[in-house]
Amino acid sequence: MGVNGLPGTGKMTMLRDILASNVVERARRLSACENPLDAFTERTHEWTGEGRMRRRARELRPGVAGLEKVVASANNADEENLSEEIPHRSAIKDGRNVDADYFACLATAALGGSGGGRGRPG
């Protein structure tokens, strides 16, 4: 899918809604698993990470996979804005974000913040 438009025309909002829908759909699919291991196949992928540390991960089952998205832009500022705005609680309508803490600590750390920084209510 390609998305083009002038600034302020809702591109970010549309993308945020698509990504939020994917998070909910994946959660729905995962909740159907009786055992957490049911989300994975027997196939294992291995690679060498930073510091030559061997990494290993099992492959997601097709019913759980398939909701991933890739965002590309000719302007790096767009990607930076996206990664800053998408996980921010202010994107959730007032009154509905009280319990929104879907991996809040991990999201805050990934964005380079600390306890009260980005990824927290603003």
Domain extents in the chain: 11-68
pLDDT band with cut points at 50, 70 and 90 for residue 20: confident
Q: In Å, what is the CA distance from 81 to each residue of 12, 34, 61, 73, 78?
A: 9, 38, 32, 11, 5
Average pLDDT for residues 21-35, to the nearest whole number? 92
Is residue 109 within 8 Å of 101, Cβ to Cβ? no
The per-residue pLDDT for 95 is 63
Please give the share of the chain, as a percent, with pLDDT higher than 90. 31
Which run of H or of E encompasses 81? helix 76-85
Average pLDDT for residues 52-67, to the nearest whole number? 92
Is residue 79 within 8 Å of 73, Cβ to Cβ? yes
Top-confidence residue, 2 or 117: 2
Average pLDDT for residues 33-41, to the nearest whole number? 94
Average pLDDT for residues 104-122, to the nearest whole number? 57
pLDDT band with cut points at 50, 70 and 90 for residue 8: confident
Mean residue pLDDT of the chain comes to 80
Strands 40-48 and 54-60: antiparallel
Top-confidence residue, 75 or 51: 51
This prediction has a pTM of 0.65
Task: Give bridge partners of residue 54 from the DSSP assignment.
Answer: 48
Q: Which two tokens stand for residue 61?
A: 């089952």
